Amino acid sequence: MTAVVTLSATYGTGGSLIGPRVAETLGLPFLDRAIPVAVAEALAVPLSEAMARDERRTSAIGRALAGLARAASAPDTAFGTAPTAARAASGDQPDQAFQFHTEQVIHQIASTTGGVILGRGGACVLRDRQRTLHVRLDGPAEARLERATSNEGIDEATARKQLGATDRAREAYVRYFYKVDPADPRLYHLVIDATAFELDACVDLIVRAAGDRGCHRAG
């Protein structure tokens, strides 16, 4: 069975930096952009459309799930449980076809090449799969803001805006499609406060945990 590591990363925790380093160390492919590329091929749509609907593209997924975020704050509506018809009528209905094919691509990756998969509810999609390590990267919001300004070279105001939009959108994605809280530690084998360590230390923690679960390239 091929090895897989899934990374769930809140904004500012360096998931897009840590993921490739983990993959290289374990001798596995890093899967990020390749996922919407495969989805576009499966649906025979332009890559730009698949990218626009991809979970990792915060602005687009945020628009698609804006209604869910608003519903979360309503006193009489549980997060992610507003009537489907109402969401569809308001234009906030996420595209089930894109999400379905994203899952199919993730399963295909897991059964063929294996790899390190960033985001897209990977811990939920592959929750029952053996030889898989599920990792959550998180940290206090203010510390993540500081990391974001440093890693991305942006000002604090921009980082703060992106943190709010990114975290809300990705939380909404997981809650909507999988009916779980992405911060629930029971979804993961390893939860790291990525703001408490340097990137290399985070990579080392994940690689060690992956080795314990046999998540490295065979041979």
Domain ranges of the chain: 4-212
Which of 88, 113, 106, 90 has the alpha carbon at shortest distance from 36?
Answer: 106
* pLDDT tier at 57, thresholds 50, 70, 90: low
pLDDT at 19 over 50: yes
Find out if CATH 3.40.50.300 is the number for domain 4-212: yes
User: Residue 49 has which token pair?
Assistant: 């459309």
β-bridge mates for residue 5, sequence order: 116, 133
Which pLDDT does position 217 carry in this prediction?
61
Which pLDDT does position 219 carry in this prediction?
43
Q: E strands of 10-161, at which residues?
A: 30-31, 115-118, 132-138
pLDDT at 65 over 70: no
pTM of the model: 0.81
Residue whose structure tokens are 């990218």: 51
Mean pLDDT of 154-160: 93
Per-residue pLDDT of 77-118, as tens digits, reads 333 333 333 333 334 445 788 888 999 999 999 999 999 999
